[in-house]
């Protein structure tokens, strides 16, 4: 998934969805870490590493911190106690669960951000129209993909505005977490406003209208890519089935 656009949008989308589904089904933190590293390497090769990692940090830093606090300190199934402060207990099982869930979420976020920052939205909409996909789906997808690249730039502008008003970021972790919270509120409000404006603009251009559509953009799709998508869908379905079979309770029969 790079900006050379030699990949059909459906090929990139299938790869992203397949990676996320297989990572979720496997529930293995080494595999999740490998997928996350692979997504970061592809982002570097595609020239979008800065924007992908910045947007991922906005999403993942508060989420991973909450997972660490919730499961690392208050995991009810933890037995191996590493440290204890009143009702809070740091357990090996809780840290392992937080690590697995955090790496899995990181992998999924990175692959979808990589897709959103590298896919050609006009090509994707043309491909959706050629496959007779309902226009409402393309409308929502286009709104989302055009909004995501603005996250990193918006956050940087919010930080600069707050620093110009006298906000001081100290080196302590608690200070940085408090600063992040102050930046998240205006960021979310600004993104909601941007989403509304973009949705109105797309709707005014007919993206939400029903009925037949004519596309003036031809998106090349090779036989090799079609075969790759079919194989990826089969492997993804097999991973899900294998996960269900492994997690099926022993001794349960129909």
- Measured CA to CA, the distance from residue 90 to residue 41 in angstroms comes to 33
* Per-residue confidence (pLDDT) for residue 254, from 0 to 100: 41
- Measured CA to CA, the distance from residue 120 to residue 3 in angstroms comes to 8
* Per-residue confidence (pLDDT) for residue 253, from 0 to 100: 44
* Per-residue confidence (pLDDT) for residue 152, from 0 to 100: 60
- Measured CA to CA, the distance from residue 167 to residue 183 in angstroms comes to 11
Question: How far does the chain reach from its first CA to its final CA, in angstroms?
Answer: 44
CA torsion 127-130-131-134 (nearest 10°) is 90
Q: 169 to each of 56, 121, 159, 175, 177, how far by Cα in Å? A: 21, 37, 10, 7, 10
* Per-residue confidence (pLDDT) for residue 232, from 0 to 100: 93
Question: Buried b / exposed e across 80-90, counting CB within 10 Å, b at 16+?
Answer: eeeeeeeeebb
- Measured CA to CA, the distance from residue 80 to residue 101 in angstroms comes to 19
* Per-residue confidence (pLDDT) for residue 144, from 0 to 100: 65
- For the stretch 17-43, pLDDT in tens is 999 999 988 888 899 999 999 999 999
Which residue would you say has higher pLDDT here, 253 or 108?
108
What is the pLDDT averaged over residues 57-81? 79
Which residue would you say has higher pLDDT here, 231 or 194?
231
Q: Could you identify the residue written with the tokens 């001081």?
A: 168
What is the token pair recorded at 83?
């440290």
- For the stretch 101-144, pLDDT in tens is 889 999 999 999 899 888 887 788 788 777 777 666 666 666 66
* Per-residue confidence (pLDDT) for residue 252, from 0 to 100: 45
- For the stretch 134-186, pLDDT in tens is 666 666 666 666 666 666 667 667 777 776 776 655 555 555 556 666 777 77
**Residue 28 and residue 142 in contact, taking contact as beta carbons nearer than 8 Å:** no
Residue 191 has pLDDT above 80, yes or no: no
What is the pLDDT averaged over residues 81-98? 78
- For the stretch 214-252, pLDDT in tens is 667 778 888 999 999 999 999 999 988 988 887 775 444
Q: 51 to each of 46, 153, 183, how far by Cα in Å? A: 11, 8, 17
């Amino acid at each position: 998934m790079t900006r050379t656009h030699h990949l059909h949008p459906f090929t990139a989308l299938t790869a992203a969805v397949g990676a996320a589904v297989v990572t979720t089904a496997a529930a293995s933190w080494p595999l999740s870490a490998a997928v996350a590293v692979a997504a970061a390497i592809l982002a570097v090769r595609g020239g979008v590493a800065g924007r992908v990692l910045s947007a991922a940090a906005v999403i993942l830093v508060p989420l991973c911190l909450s997972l660490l606090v919730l499961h690392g300190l208050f995991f009810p199934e933890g037995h191996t106690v590493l440290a204890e402060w009143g009702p809070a207990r740091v357990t090996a099982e809780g840290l392992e669960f937080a690590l697995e869930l955090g790496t899995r979420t990181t992998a999924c976020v990175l692959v979808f951000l990589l897709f959103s920052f590298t896919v050609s939205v006009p090509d994707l909409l043309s491909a959706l129209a050629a496959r007779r996909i309902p226009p409402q789906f393309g409308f929502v997808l286009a709104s989302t993909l055009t909004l995501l690249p603005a996250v990193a730039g918006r956050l940087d502008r919010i930080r600069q505005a707050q620093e110009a008003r006298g906000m001081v970021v100290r080196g302590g972790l608690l200070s940085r977490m408090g600063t992040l919270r102050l930046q998240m509120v205006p960021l979310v409000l600004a993104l909601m406003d941007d989403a509304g404006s973009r949705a109105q603009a797309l709707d005014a251009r007919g993206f939400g209208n029903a009925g037949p559509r004519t596309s003036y953009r031809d998106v090349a799709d090779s036989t090799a890519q079609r075969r790759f998508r079919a194989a990826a869908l089969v492997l993804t379905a097999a991973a899900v089935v294998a996960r269900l079979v492994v997690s099926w309770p022993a001794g349960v029969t129909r």
